[in-house]
Amino acid sequence: MDPILIPARERSPRVDFRFDEHRLSLAGESYPEDAAAFYGPVVKALVEYCRTVPEEEIVFTVALTYFNTSSAKVLMNIFHLLEHHGQAGARIHLIWNHHKDDEMMMEFGADFSRDLQHVKFTLHELDT
């Protein structure tokens, strides 16, 4: 599959899905005017990727500094998709990066992790 590389904008995160390397990442802030329109093609590609991915470990890195409610819903949908894929036998590692002084983002990561039983979830504290 072709990679998805979308640069960060004022209201939307950088999307770097390198399907051939099994490395997926979101970084920045996420509060697009229309989260469904922004994330729709990304989620669609992720669904297709999960249907065809080989037995490689998938590493999904999230480094968001802010997201709104609409983005949180999309993130949960993405994480449920990964959970389902993990339940089917795939090896998924989700790394949730947060700055050490950002307790809110750490708590969001911890909350998301509670819903994932078949995904290895790492809360990773960044120094800066």
pLDDT at 53: 82
User: If you average pLDDT over residues 77-89, what whole number do you get?
Assistant: 94
pLDDT at 36: 93
Query: What are the tens digits of pLDDT across the range 20-48?
Result: 999 999 999 999 999 999 999 999 999 99
Give residue 127's pLDDT band: very low, low, confident or very high (50, 70, 90): confident
Kindly report the average pLDDT of the chain as a whole number: 94
pLDDT at 63: 97
Query: What are the tens digits of pLDDT across the range 92-118?
Result: 999 999 999 999 999 999 999 999 999
Distance CA 80, CA 110 (A): 15
pLDDT at 56: 79
Spell out the domains of the chain, with CATH numbers in brackets: 4-126 (3.30.750)
Write the Ramachandran bin of 28: left for phi over 0, alpha for psi from -120 to 50, otherwise beta.
Answer: left
pTM reported for the whole predicted model: 0.93
pLDDT at 128: 65
DSSP E strand stretches across the chain? 4-6, 14-18, 23-30, 58-67, 92-99, 120-126
